Structure 1
Amino acid sequence: MILKKIMVIGVSAGAGKSTFARKLSEVLQIDVYHLDTMFWEPGWIEASFEDFKSRQQKVIINHPQWIMEGNYRNTFDMRVEKADTIIYLEKPLTVCLYRVIKRWLTNIGKDRPDRAIGCNEKIDMAFIKFICTTYSQRKKRTRQQLHQLESTKQVFILTNDKEIEDFLRTIAN
C-alpha cells in the first residue's frame, strides 16, 4: 500500500477529518495541510478562489508527500488528480452534529490548528441547518464519486471508530 499523496474527506463537518488526518500524519510522518487554513483569512474572511487554489497547488507541486484534509468540492478535482489515496470518513449525521456542538463548546473563543489564526470557534443555526439538509445528498454523491475513482486511486471508506483504529493500526505496521 503506497500512501504518499493523501486526501482526507468526510461526509460532513464533525466526521473527524482533522483528528484523523493528524493521527495519520503521526503514523506516516507526512505533513498534514488543512484546507480550512488555506480558505479562511483571519476573522472568517474567505480567501479569493485564486488564492485558495494557489495555496493548494503550492503543496501539491512542492511536496513529494502530503495529507490534505477537507472537502471543498470546488478544488476537489485538482487534488484528486495528484492524490494516490482518498480516505473518506462517513459518520452518522447524529455523530457529526454532536461533534460539531462539542467542538464549539470545547473551543469557544480559541484558535484551532486546523483553522486560520483569528478564526475562533463559532456556530450558528445556518451551519447546523446546512449540515442537516445536505448530509444525505453529500453522502450519496461522494459514494458515487469514490466508486468511479476506485479503478485509479486507493479509496478507503471508514464508517466507524473501529474501522478507523484498524486502518491506522494496519498502516503503522
Structure 2
Amino acid sequence: MKKVLVIGCPGTGKSTFSSRLSKESGLPVIHLDSFYWKPGWISCSNQEFDEILKNLLLQETYIMDGNYGRTLDFRIPFADTVYFFDFPRYLCLYRVIKRTIWNHGTTGEYMGKDCPESIDYKFIKSVWNFRKNQRMRIIKVLEKYKGSKNIVIFRKPKEVNNYFKSFSK
C-alpha cells in the first residue's frame, strides 16, 4: 500500500480515517478539501484543481482524502488501494450536522484556510442525495478496477473499527 484513495459521502469519517491510517502506515495524508477550497469557501476552477491533482498524484506515497467524483476516473489509475465509505444517508447527515454544530465558526484541520464550519442548505442537500446522485457511479467505477486494485468498502462504522484492529495485528 503506497497510493491510497479514501472516498465516500461527507460525514462518513473519511478524514478521520485517513489521519488514523497515516499514523498506522506512515503514509502522508493529502486532504483534497484543503487544496480545492480557497478562503471564504471559494472553489478553484476545474482546470486549476486538475493541475493541482496532477502534481499531487505524482508523489511517491500518499493517502488522498476526498470524494470529488468528477476526478475519480482520473485518480484511481494512480492508486493501488481505494477505501469507499458507503454509509447510510441518515448516519452521514447526522454526523455532518453534529460536526457543524460542534465546530461552528472554526476551520477544521482538513479544510481550506479560512473556511469555517457552517450549516449550508446546498451542502446538506448534497449529503442527503449522495446515495441517489453519486453512489452508483462510484460503484461502477470501482467495478472496472476489481482485481487490479485493492478495494475496501465500509458500510458501517464498526467495519472501520474492526479494520484497524486487524491492521495493527
The alignment's TM-score, normalised by the length of structure 2, stands at 0.93
Indicate which of 85, 91, 104 corresponds to 1:89. Answer: 85
In 2, Cα distance between the equivalents of 1:96 and 1:102? 10
Match of residue 15 from structure 1: 12
Match of residue 80 from structure 1: 76
In 1, Cα distance between the equivalents of 2:130 and 2:55? 31
Match of residue 132 from structure 1: 128
- Runs of 4+ with >4 A deviation: none
The 8 Å contact of residues 28 and 172 in structure 1, kept in 2 or not, is answered as no
Match of residue 153 from structure 1: 149
- The answer to whether residue 24 in structure 2 is matched with residue 27 in structure 1 is yes
In 2, Cα distance between the equivalents of 1:134 and 1:48? 22
Deviation, structure 1 residue 24: 0.7
Deviation, structure 1 residue 149: 1.3
Deviation, structure 1 residue 40: 0.5
Indicate which of 32, 36, 39 corresponds to 2:33. Answer: 36
Give the AA of the match of 2:96. V
Alignment root-mean-square deviation, CA: 1.4
Give the AA of the match of 1:72. Y
Give the AA of the match of 2:56. V
Aligned residues: 169
Match of residue 107 from structure 1: 103
Deviation, structure 1 residue 38: 1.1
Indicate which of 51, 54, 58 corresponds to 2:55. Answer: 58
1:82-114 Cα offsets, whole Å, 9 max, x none, are 100000011111100000000100111101111
Gaps of 5+ in 1: none
Gaps of 5+ in 2: none
Deviation, structure 1 residue 170: 2.2
Cα 1:86–1:131 change in 2 (3 A) is: same
Secondary structure of the residue aligned to 2:82 is: strand
The alignment's TM-score, normalised by the length of structure 1, stands at 0.91
In 2, Cα distance between the equivalents of 1:159 and 1:134? 14
Which range moves more in the overlay, 105-114 or 48-57? Answer: 48-57
